[in-house]
Amino acid sequence: MKLQPRRLPEEPNVNLISLVDVVLLLVIFFVLTTSFVRQSQLTIRLPESASRAPEAVAEAPALEIIVTDRGVFFVNGRALVDNRAETLAAAIRRVQPAEGVQSVTISADARATHQDVVTAMDVAGRLGITDVRIATLRTPDGQAAD
């Protein structure tokens, strides 16, 4: 009888070098493809328009919201008691006819805050007004006003 020495089963061997290589390549890939944006360093210049608006506007806007430089809202020429969004929404609901207003023109003072204009646009959107227009002035020579 031939006896062979008893072999112990081999322990599984995990090759970590390949795994480290793959992870390192993934890290390098993500570092190189990620864009780092610092919004505090962005400087933007808003676009200017010298084109004319279409002259074939059939009817006047049904609703006009005026925003002053102090953030006071006027709805169709009537001042509101405060500048909260709820007050503006209530005033628009009062002015709206039964079928609902579908367009609004927002005339904002050049020194009005961006937040006040966005508040007026947000309130109009929440009330289902789909056509929001921003009124601007043009200089006499046809160039956009600064």
Using one digit for the tens of pLDDT, what is the confidence trace for 100-135?
Answer: 667 888 888 888 888 999 999 999 888 888 888 888
Residue 108 included in any domain = yes
Q: How distant, in Å, are the alpha carbons of 34, 54, 84 from that of 58?
A: 50, 11, 33
Give the model's pLDDT for residue 119: 92
Give the model's pLDDT for residue 26: 94
Domain span at 81: 64-134
CATH number for the domain that contains residue 76: 3.30.420
Compute how many other C-beta atoms are within 10 angstroms of the C-beta atom of residue 102: 13
Residue 36 included in any domain = no
- The model carries a pTM of 0.54
Q: Is 10 or 76 the better-scoring residue by pLDDT?
A: 76
Is the separation of the CB atoms in 140 and 112 below 8 Å? no
Q: How far apart, in whole angstroms, are the C-alpha atoms of residue 106 and residue 43?
A: 26
Residue with tokens 């601007």: 136
Complete DSSP assignment for 23-53: HHHHHHHHHHH-----GGG---------SPP
